[in-house]
A and B are shown apart, each in its own frame.
Chain A
Amino acid sequence: EDQVTQSPEALRLQEGESSSLNCSYTVSGLRGLFWYRQDPGKGPEFLFTLYSAGEEKEKERLKATLTKKESFLHITAPKPEDSATYLCAVQAATGGQNFVFGPGTRLSVLP
């Protein structure tokens, strides 16, 4: 069964304090790994897709990396507006249409 776990469950940072979020996955062949940002009461907002180990993607203060078993979302010099829940999801290469999501990491960036 495809599974995704994320750590930590919650993370509190001071503005400017860089850190990383972890997404560990087990999947029967990876078609893609996806990162989303979700603000309270809103739908998830797409951030990145990663397809193969060694791949990296960047967007402003965020950088996502991928290995064969996990992905990291690195946040450099975060600002309060980066506060949100960050969700990781995988899609298997076995023909299934569903995305399997992790429980998310709740990030709070304090001014």
Chain B
Amino acid sequence: ETGVTQSPTHLIKTRGQQVTLRCSSQSGHNTVSWYQQALGQGPQFIFQYYREEENGRGNFPPRFSGLQFPNYSSELNVNALELDDSALYLCASSRTGKDTGELFFGEGSRLTVL
């Protein structure tokens, strides 16, 4: 069974730039969620995708957007990067969208904004 994989593992951007992070979900999972984890804090929910549509969103501005593809992989896009966007971005997959069970996380993408 293939786990959740994320790319890139690390990246550095400057303020105002745009970034795309990618995630392949665990086999058999059709729901993908994205979380932001600042240093020393717990993960914060950004949004979830189920059947290629956004299925819930946390308190993040519209410059955070996403996509889910027919193979259940996903992208997180962040426009107009700010210094506070520096964080570990975690992708998590789960089996269903309506009755989400356990989340299974990838290793994360560490974003540094200078």
**A44, B105: Cβ atoms closer than 8 Å:** yes
Instruction: Give 1 or 0 for each of B87-100: 1 = CB within 8 Å of chain A CB.
Output: 01010100001001
Q: How far is the CA of A101 from the CA of B78 in the complex (A)?
A: 22
Residues of A within 8 A of B (CB-CB), count: 23
- Do A98 and B42 touch across chains, with their CB atoms under 8 A apart? no
Q: Would A103 and B40 be within 8 Å (CB), given that A98-B45, A98-B48 are in contact?
A: yes
**Chain B minimum-CB-distance residue to A47:** B102
Give the contact stretch, choosing among A12-20, A52-60, A61-69, A89-97: A89-97
A30: CB under 8 A from chain B? no
Q: Does B108 contact A (CB under 8 A)?
A: yes
Report B32-52 residues with CB < 8 Å from chain A CB: 33, 35, 40-45, 48, 50
Contact B107 A42 (CB under 8 A): yes
Residue of B40, B42, B88 near A101 (CB, 8 A) is B42
A4, A36, A43, A49: the one contacting B101 at CB < 8 Å is A49
A103 to B105, CA, bound (A): 17
Docked Cα-Cα span, A102 to B38, in Å, equals 12
18 contacts between A and B (CB under 8 A): A4-B42, A42-B107, A43-B4, A43-B92, A44-B90, A44-B103, A45-B105, A46-B104, A46-B105, A89-B42, A96-B56, A97-B33, A97-B48, A97-B55, A98-B56, A98-B58, A103-B42, A104-B41
A residues whose Cβ falls under 8 Å from a Cβ of B = 4, 32, 34, 36, 41-46, 49, 87, 89, 91, 96-104
Chain B residues with a Cβ under 8 A of chain A: 4, 33, 35, 40-45, 48, 50, 55-56, 58, 88, 90, 92, 97, 100-108, 110
